Structure 1
Amino acid sequence: MEHCATFPVKLYIYDLSRGMARQLSPIMLGKQLDGIWHTSIVVYGKEFFFGGEGITNCPPGGTLLGDPDAIVDLGTTEVTEDIFMEYQCSLGESTYRADRYRLFEHNCNTFSNEVAQFLTGRKIPSYITDLPSEVLSTPFGQTLRPLLDSISITPPGGNFSQR
């Protein structure tokens, strides 16, 4: 039997609030949030993420966010880079086009979760995927929703990754 090559798969986790969520959430939401999470998948020596410009990749840790706050080892994959890039292209043309980005329902974490399952069969931690519903379950979250829905994480015309 031929041995398949395996590739490590990691989840990079960033707190977009840089610690502010932890400090302000009890006052504003009446519940403790540890962060406002942005995630990406690192595999084949690249960091892949979804935002206001669609699916993007850069060298690991190469986004404007700098080094991740945490890295979760999701295991390994036998999916080849070619097959993965075809999968990325199909996602980028359908489910994860830039105009499909929604801060609460369809964001970087939705993307990371789907890609993690494709590559490893594992989901990303639920404290990340459950965050939007936790925020929206609060009166303040409901009040902020129209404003937050209008925000795209990627600045218009700007790229999330450093060149």
Structure 2
Amino acid sequence: MMKKKIYITRLPKQSCGICTMFPSCMSLLPRRNEPRPPRPGQAPVVLNVYDMYWTNWYTAGAGVGVFHSGVQVHGSEWAYGGHPYAFTGVFEITPRDERELGEQFRFRQSVHIGYTDFSEEEVRRLVTELGKQFRGDRYHLMNNNCNHFTSAFCLALCDRDIPAWVNRLAYVSSCVPFLQRCLPKEWLTPTALQHSLAAHSRSSSPSSPTTPQ
């Protein structure tokens, strides 16, 4: 009597039935976008986020917080604010020092964005160039605010954008156009920027500031 040979076909390793439709079930899982480790000579780029009023501690969880942000790189923090003159509104402060910004600001958190190859000197040149776009007289809550600046700055430094929640107010204010008129002027011209304006005034010629274009 001949014995029947039983052939066992080995199927590829699968973790579940869905894998027959997709190459791997791992494709269905969210992947964390972790920053790569720095290369020699690179500097970290950090976004420092501030609450701009005490109500943020209650409303930020609902996604309607009012935030200011600055970019920390090479030991300095750079941010943007509005003023009436036709020159840069970008200013420098000590990283995470809410006292330099004014009493309306409270430090909230730091977000690691990535790493940059720019040297400190190159960063300052980049700040000067961005200042031509982010002039004080061009500040606009909806389309040219402090968070638009930090977004452009981070993209230029390390090709990575800031988290979307930081600038959600810009979208909200586009639906409520009069919102900007309701905000305290101190939010648009923080104390640190006022000091920067005073220093600029002392270093400039005695003539009046350039008329905004």
Please indicate, yes or no, whether the TM-score normalized by the shorter chain is above 0.5: yes
Q: CA offsets per residue over residues 71-113 of structure 1, 9 Å max, x none?
A: 0001211111111111111221x20111111122101100000
Is 2:114 aligned against 1:84? no
TM-score by length of 2: 0.60
Matched with 1:28 is: none
Find the structure with the greater CA-based Rg. Answer: 2
Consecutive unaligned residues in structure 2, runs of 5 or more? 1-38, 84-88, 197-213
Alignment of 1:11-50 (within 5 A): 11-18=47-54, 20-21=55-56, 23=58, 32-50=62-80
Distance 1:83 1:46, change over 3 A: same
Instruction: For residue 69 of structure 1, give the secondary structure of its aligned residue in structure 2.
Output: strand
Q: CA offsets per residue over residues 39-97 of structure 1, 9 Å max, x none?
A: 000001001000025010022123335762010001211111111111111221x2011
Task: Tell me the C-alpha RMSD between the 2 structures.
Answer: 2.9
TM-score by length of 1: 0.76
Distance 1:67 1:24, change over 3 A: closer
Consecutive unaligned residues in structure 1, runs of 5 or more? 26-30
Matched with 1:73 is: 112
Count of aligned residue pairs for this structure pair: 147
Q: Greater RCO between the two (CA within 8 Å, min separation 6)? A: 1
Is 2:173 aligned against 1:153? no
Matched with 2:142 is: 104
